[in-house]
Chain A
């Protein structure tokens, strides 16, 4: 295999439990050395996908293939796949000390006795646990963060080609989680090891991943870089699951613009109309949904909107202080509520001019929106 071939490949892989399809004809490829995340709400199939990759589950025999390094591994046991895994529950052996936990895999692989202590020490060093302090402790004598590090060292000591991580930071508090996110990212880069990471936390996935597969209802809803996923969400599910999204809809009533920048005019059920860029999912007189991120919206006093922007009239319902940003909640006609994110330039020195009850125009540039495909 060449270096550029995907290290992991799923080709229309399905997994059923009784009548339930946990994973439904899923295809994706993971590049060598990348930090790849499977992101989705609970029950979306992300953990089953990881377990199919680990070898704990066997794919349905319907022609789907799990490939590692180009080879079909559908029926290979986990210990025949050169993978390491970190579990959400840590899964440290409670009856063994830290060093014996880390040595477990080396012993199973018949690594010479004399080599084991050195490799255990190096693995503990990699996750920044001082062997002198921790080697002889039992898992129950460690904090959650330390246990997570031991679990990581135990997986890394075998130098696997792929490291699978199943919500490894789920049980840690926020500060520790941020710290571990950085460390995992650093390990991924420095070891050049492929990481496949399962999480339901969209912020975590955006912060750490090279690419993300967003899963919904047993399928991959969208696969791309964090920027792709956040800025060009393809479906309403992706737009709503990753970050916040304001949804608008309207019927396409003809093209405008012309030339390079073709746009469509949409007419909302309320009678308001706005422009959206051309998109293959739009056709004449069909309903079209778009998503607009809160930070793509702006607020103007009525009559002050720049002429090229889309604008909808509304009333300020709330102003929320979030530190870095200010969220203004605006009620539009037809019971719609949108959130507008504005930069906080210091409410003590330069307070926002908007107050609860003000009449405002919610505006955005036609190109600052994402046309959604039907799911």
Chain B
């Protein structure tokens, strides 16, 4: 062995091509193992252990926490969560697709418009959610405007409703829908639309038979990117929904916090993860169907 350590290191990798990929993978794998896989395993363990008296867990094995989740009280929370996540995804799709479509066809304005879409990320999610409160509360901007115009005489109850939570979730996650749909529309070969037009397709038919099917991977990716975080949301329902619109995220937060029932919180987390997995599998099927196309 001769030369500087740097040269010796390079010589080592030149002799073993496979070592290079391992060297690149190791830091990330270590990070994920330490901060994702290990905590997840710990959480899975907690979910089948007994509840500790002052929080934490006590030794033993039990499935009671999973059984408890089947209580109608909690199933109602789960149903509301699912409903809100689905509604959020659907609304984001309805609002986001046209936006993505226009941006993809906007020529030289494209980058400016994309910048505007991601601009909200420059401020904290918490600040943006408080801004929603300012808009929606009894003395807020919307009520003031409605009464100022004489459309209403008393402030409407906008805040602390499922509608407020839905509005907050849609606002927060809309860019995650717009960006992947934009990416798939931007890749669309415009010759395909010309070809369809020569073959007799009017604009609605061109959209339905060419543009839409070819942008489905973007729709699937966007829906997933909205649905999964919406399912686990706790900040938005906490601030905009109050106690009446508790979602599973709030339930988990509660169990680990004030309720000091870590095993139940862990069990709810895993139930939530189960739903996410089902959504993920559905997405993979759509994607594979597209890949076969």
Contacts and interface: CB of A to CB of B under 8 A. Distances in A.
A59 to B, nearest CB: 17
Interface stretch (A78-86, A128-136, A246-254, A268-276): A78-86
A89 B290 CA distance: 21
B210 interface: yes
A138 B200 contact: no
B288 interface: no
B194 A104 contact: no
For the complex of A and B, 10 pairs with smallest distance between CB atoms:
A108-B200, A105-B199, A91-B191, A91-B195, A95-B293, A79-B200, A85-B198, A78-B198, A78-B197, A87-B191
Interface stretch (B17-25, B127-135, B201-209): B201-209
B181 to A, nearest CB: 16
A33 to B, nearest CB: 20
Interface of A: 54, 56, 77-79, 83-85, 87, 89, 91-96, 104-105, 108-109, 138, 154-155, 158
25 contacts: A56-B194, A77-B197, A78-B194, A78-B197, A79-B198, A79-B201, A83-B198, A85-B194, A85-B198, A87-B191, A87-B194, A89-B189, A91-B195, A93-B192, A93-B209, A93-B210, A94-B214, A95-B213, A96-B293, A104-B199, A104-B201, A105-B198, A105-B199, A108-B200, A138-B292
A309 to B, nearest CB: 53
B192 A105 contact: no
B233 interface: no
Interface in B34-53: none
B214 A95 contact: yes
B194 A108 contact: no
B199 A154 contact: yes
A109 B198 contact: no
B196 interface: yes
A162 to B, nearest CB: 11
A104 B214 contact: no
Contacts of B196: 93, 104, 108
A104 B200 CA distance: 9
Nearest to B216: A95
Interface centre among A83, A108, A109 (most CB of B within 10 A): A108
Given A54-B198, A91-B191, A94-B214, 17 more contacts: A56-B194, A56-B197, A77-B197, A79-B202, A83-B198, A85-B195, A87-B191, A91-B195, A93-B196, A93-B210, A95-B213, A95-B290, A104-B199, A105-B200, A108-B200, A155-B198, A158-B199
Contacts of A108: 196, 199-201, 205
B198 A104 contact: no
Nearest to A111: B200
B194 A91 contact: yes
Nearest to A79: B200
Interface in B148-207: 189, 191-192, 194-202, 205
Interface of B: 189, 191-192, 194-202, 205, 209-210, 213-214, 290, 292-293
A94 B293 contact: yes
Contact of B192 (A54, A78, A91): A91
A78 B210 CA distance: 17
A198 to B, nearest CB: 14
Contact of A89 (B191, B198, B201, B292): B191
B191 to A, nearest CB: 4
A157 to B, nearest CB: 9
A47 to B, nearest CB: 12
A77 B196 CA distance: 12
B195 A87 contact: yes
A117 to B, nearest CB: 17
Given A94-B214, A94-B293, A79 B199 contact: yes
Contacts of A85: 194-195, 198
Contacts of B210: 93
Contacts of A104: 196, 199, 201, 209
A17 B191 CA distance: 19
B200 to A, nearest CB: 3
Contacts of B198: 54, 78-79, 83-85, 105, 155
A84 B194 CA distance: 11
Contacts of A54: 194, 198
A91 B206 CA distance: 14
Contacts of A155: 198
A109 B199 CA distance: 8
Given A91-B189, A138-B293, A79 B213 contact: no
Contacts of A158: 199-200
Contacts of B195: 85, 87, 91-93, 154
A85 B196 CA distance: 10
Contacts of B205: 108
A80 to B, nearest CB: 9
Interface centre among B198, B205, B290 (most CB of A within 10 A): B198
Nearest to A86: B195
A315 to B, nearest CB: 52
Contacts of A84: 198
A108 B209 CA distance: 10
A104 B197 CA distance: 11
A87 B189 CA distance: 12
B211 to A, nearest CB: 11
Nearest to B199: A105
Contacts of B292: 138
Contacts of B214: 94-95
A89 B192 CA distance: 9
A158 to B, nearest CB: 7
B194 A109 contact: no
